[in-house]
């Protein structure tokens, strides 16, 4: 049975991660720590046999993916392909708000968000169910082109959470017990039957001062 190996990376840290502000599909770039994390993950993957790098087209992910491509031993041959299917969950009217602002201004939304209601969506945004289906469809389309090869997917906390749940068959409303750190290395295997987990949350390449990745707490 042929399979596609996937390295899934959450983008490096951003100013809004530090401020606990919901980014969603707003286009926020990396901060200095995030740029350092991106370079470090690029160095960690420099000798990996990588056929293609796909990234969310949002700046924080695309910058991280570009650092991975530039740091690779085959940098001249590796480019980054942006894909809207790898974007973060759209948080609608909650995008740009801090957690505290959401708790005080939209308490009912906060309750349903924190309770992981699979069918609730912020006004103008996506539900967890819609997000999961988008990610499953996107990964199937990309991975099926690379049987027998290894690809990198650079995306967001909500996306990597969806990948973990798909690979482990965790329900959307199950409490999260796994880490979703900035620039952590996560490994999965894709076959036409679906995803399976190989390894998760490797941050050994970030174990230096100020490099500790922040967990994604909006999922």
Cα-to-chain-centroid distance, residue 32: 19
User: What's the CA gap between 133 and 42, in Å, rounded?
Assistant: 29
Task: Identify the active-site residue in 11, 72, 90, 205.
Answer: 11
Contacts of 37 (CB under 8 A, 6+ apart): 12, 13, 30, 64, 182, 183, 206, 211, 213
Q: Which residue has the tokens 């949350």?
A: 201
To the query of whether residue 66 is one of the catalytic residues in this protein, the response is: no
User: What's the CA gap between 184 and 199, in Å, rounded?
Assistant: 11
Whole-Å CA distances, 31 to 87, 121, 145: 19, 29, 33
Task: Identify the active-site residue in 13, 63, 88, 216.
Answer: 88
SS3 letters for 121-141? CCCCCCCHHHHHHHHHHHHHH
Residue 4's φ and ψ, nearest 5 degrees, are: -115, 125
User: What's the CA gap between 186 and 199, in Å, rounded?
Assistant: 6
User: What's the CA gap between 29 and 24, in Å, rounded?
Assistant: 13
To the query of whether residue 11 is one of the catalytic residues in this protein, the response is: yes
User: What's the CA gap between 52 and 153, in Å, rounded?
Assistant: 9
Looking at the DSSP bridge assignments, the partners of residue 143 are none
As annotated, the active-site residues are 11, 88
């Amino acid at each position: 049975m042929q399979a596609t190996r996937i390295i899934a990376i959450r983008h490096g840290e951003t100013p809004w991660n530090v401020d606990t502000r919901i980014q969603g599909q707003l286009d926020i770039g990396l901060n200095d720590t995030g740029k350092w994390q991106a370079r470090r993950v690029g160095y960690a993957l420099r000798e990996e046999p990588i056929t293609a790098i796909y990234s969310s087209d949002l700046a924080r992910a695309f910058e991280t993916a570009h650092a991975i491509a530039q740091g690779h031993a085959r940098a001249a041959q590796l480019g980054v392909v942006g894909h809207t299917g790898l974007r973060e969950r759209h948080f609608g009217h909650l995008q740009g708000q801090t957690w505290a602002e959401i708790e005080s201004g939209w308490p009912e939304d906060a309750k349903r968000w924190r309770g992981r209601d699979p069918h609730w969506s912020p006004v103008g945004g996506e539900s967890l169910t819609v997000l999961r289906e988008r990610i499953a469809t996107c990964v199937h389309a990309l991975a099926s082109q690379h049987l027998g090869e290894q690809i990198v997917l650079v995306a967001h906390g909500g996306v990597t959470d969806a990948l973990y749940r798909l690979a482990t068959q965790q329900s959307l409303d199950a409490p999260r017990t796994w880490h979703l750190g900035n620039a952590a290395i996560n490994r999965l295997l894709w076959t036409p039957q679906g995803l399976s987990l190989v390894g998760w949350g490797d941050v050994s390449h970030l174990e230096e001062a100020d490099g500790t990745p922040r967990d994604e707490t909006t999922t």
